[in-house]
Amino acid sequence: MSLVGTGEIVAPAAHGGYGVGAFNVIQLEHAEAIVAGAEAVGAPVVLQISENAVRYHGGLAPVGVAALEVARAAAVPVAVHLDHATETAMVEEAVRLGFGSVMFDASVLPYEENVRVTTEVVRLCHASGVWVEAELGEVGGKDGVHAPGARTDPAEAAEFTARTGVDALAVAVGTSHAMLTRTASLDLDLIAALRAAVTVPLVLHGSSGASDETLAAAVVHGMTKVNIATHLNKAFTAAVRGRLTADSALVDTRAYLGAGREAVAREVAHLLGVLSVRRPAVAAS
């Protein structure tokens, strides 16, 4: 139990045909809540720290070390992952701190440049046993730099994974980051085609915009790692807002942040149940 490599969670899920929840950590309360939710249902989980969260904290170590310590104390397998890193220096720091994986995002670069720099990151990380995720086919909504409606081509995805040696691939199939409504429409046929073409686990970014039913369908069609951030932030904020509204004299931050932590733990437990669905062909084998 406790802290494990990301591949130790994602690889068995890909082989078994079920989904893995990867949830973003911004404050310590997020990490505690995510692990509590995973423990409630006895499921492994991935704690993700984005480059934007690192900038918020002024560095990777404060939030990264906290997440690692929460993972080490967990009663279920927990991995710690650096998400959407665009700087090699930050990747190197994550490796030094003991992160189990990094997602290196060079998707805004021309294809050949994406291949070149991603291959370099894979070489660096694999030398320390760290698992690497990359992105191909821009996912919308990330700082306004990705084109809406972009999709990942299966043949290009197969070539990219073979050339770079990445351990997982984030693909564009209809989601968008930072969605506040769960109305995203996923191209399930494209997910199935990507699953057939690519030998590494597929990753769904921008999953907060997908309904429970859509997330389950994505797993059934071939997704493995499912990233969720905004949806949990909505639950956290609503609980904090409700607690402060109910008691205008409240000043103890533990009281209202605790309410947010409890709300996130409940939602994580629920979402892990949604993602536990298995692909029929795998379940029958």
Structure tokens at 155: 């043949």
Q: Please confirm, yes or no, whether 252 is among the known catalytic residues.
A: no
**Distances, alpha carbon 219 to alpha carbons 41, 155, 195, in Å:** 18, 21, 10
Q: Tell me which residue of 86, 30, 26, 76 sits closest to 53, measured CA to CA.
A: 26
The pair of structure tokens assigned to 259 is 């309410």
| 98 DSSP assignment | T
Annotate 79-93 with DSSP letters as a single string: EEEEEEE--HHHHHH
From the list 83, 105, 167, 187, the catalytic residue is 83
131: Cβ contacts below 8 Å, ≥ 6 apart: 5, 6, 7, 10, 100, 101, 102, 125, 167, 168
| φ, ψ at 224 (rounded to 5°) | -120, -60
Residues designated as active site: 83
